[in-house]
Amino acid sequence: MKAKVIFSLSLLIPFALVFIYVWLTATDLVFRDDMYVIKGGPIESYLRGTLTFADLWRPSDSTRFFGFNLLMLANIKWFSMNYKIFALMIPFCIMASAILIYRDYRKSLSPERSSELIAATFLVLTLIIFNVIQSEGLIFGYALVYQSSMPFFIASFVSLELFLSRGNMKYLPAAFILPALATLVFGGKICIAFVPALGSTFLCYVLTQRSRLTKDFWLRALMIGLFLMVIAFIYMFRLSHNDYVSQPVFFAADILVNPIKAVQFLLASFGASVVGVNAFFACDYFSFHNIVQLGLVVVLLYILALVLFLRSRMYEKTYLPFFLIMLTFFYLGLMAFRRFGLGIDYGMASRYTYISIFGLAALSWIFIFILTQPIKPNLLLKSIIFTGFAIIFAGLLLTSIIEWRIQPDRKAYLDQLPGIAMRVDTATNEELSEFGERPEQVRASLRLLRKYKLNVYHTNPTDRK
């Protein structure tokens, strides 16, 4: 009973802080990426009565948002497209991911440590997972398309691990249904990174368990592999056809021309998972090269964690932390492939940390596992681990303080946007650019919402003429 209380506090206190942040800051106004699914997208088709499955399945920037599009239609029907509802769903998605992680976290530390200690140390992970360093991934409704993906992919991995490792047929339905839901319905931007992360974790499993693998295991692996190939084919089939974003951009050639800058870009994205971009801009003592150096330290900590994961045989308890680290590496790597040409510091954007915080949580999980084993680490290793914790939590604490300090300014910025929307016909292009997308796309989308009295136009009486 005491362990349950401690676990509840470890989960609910960080959750409450994030929920309050979202409640105080989030706007009900459409913003950024949503403009593409309104005018010329499935929302316009729905409002005009011409919606088809192809509209919901159509890609946007080489990504399918089928599940999010369905949620959008439900929001229109029941809440007149109030986006604050979407933002308030995000903390609950993060909570679902944290609960799924706790299942394996508890298993990895049992029975060597007490239930109370396990529940108490889980606070280390939840303080990372619920951190406001991911501010853009918390306060805008469109971020739900990404945040809703994570619990499905974690659940998919857990179900696949259980089925492959134990072979019990009771795990088969979940091993098929959850990956299909995660990929085809709630895939978001994680979908592309999921496959290589899953593949590298499977390779780790085979190498570490090779002496125990049976013919039945390989049959199960073949079955799952074929099924995942079918899912991948369905997702990728004609992915570049009729994209809402007219010209999705890839920067592979630029990376090859400027490999050193590309490495700096990638390291900065790792550094920004500890010291957020707003902390970087707010503190004069941080330079871009400092963030790159911090990113290098973070990568070295990841490498140390993976070495410790293998050396300590932690894989005999769970492979989930390994998977989460691989997911972070592949996601940030693919993000660099897509965003490098937009600016060398573009990978520091807070919306990318909604994945990397899970990598940091997994890194911390491995460190806690090492520190709580009966055989204690030597003084050097213990010093490195505690130094790593100090760097991570000092950066996250600094970022949290700054994010809360600038929260009123961010709220004031968002509060000015409805006024611009109310005069969409006369607003300048500069004003419409405040919505984060091309002014002509913003204007057309807002006019469509005004016509059908949705979003900000639903509650504003001045528009009811």
Residue 63's SS3 state is strand
Does any domain span residue 213? yes
Q: CA triplet 75, 76, 82: central angle to 5 degrees?
A: 60
Does any domain span residue 158? yes
Does any domain span residue 183? yes
Tens digits of residue pLDDT in 416-428 = 999 999 999 999 9
Domain count, the chain: 1
| DSSP conformation class of 376 | P
pLDDT at 93: 96
Cis, peptide link before residue 248, omega less than 30° from 0: no
Does any domain span residue 58? no
How far is Cα of residue 222 from the mean position of the Cα atoms in its chain? Answer: 29
Task: Please check the confidence at residue 281 and state whether its pLDDT lies above 70.
Answer: yes
Does any domain span residue 217? yes
Rounded-to-integer distance, Cα 290 and Cα 275, Å: 10
Please give, one letter per residue, the 3-state secondary structure of 168-216.
CHHHHHHHHHHHHHHHHHCCCCCHHHHHHHHHHHHHHHHHHCCCCCCHH
What the block records as the tokens of 225 is 């592999």
Does any domain span residue 375? no
On whether the CB atoms of residues 335 and 269 are closer than 8 A, the answer is yes
- Better pLDDT: 345 or 21: 21
Does any domain span residue 131? no
Handedness of CA 182, 171, 164, 318 (dihedral sign): positive
Cis, peptide link before residue 111, omega less than 30° from 0: yes
Given pLDDT bands bounded at 50, 70 and 90, which one contains residue 182?
Answer: very high
What's this model's pTM, rounded to 2 decimal places?
0.94
Range of the domain at 230: 150-239
Does any domain span residue 132? no
On whether the CB atoms of residues 161 and 107 are closer than 8 A, the answer is no
Residue 291's SS3 state is helix
pLDDT at 257: 80
Tens digits of residue pLDDT in 220-255 = 999 999 999 999 999 989 887 877 776 656 666 677
Which residues are CB-contacts of 375 (< 8 A; sequence separation ≥ 6)?
Answer: none
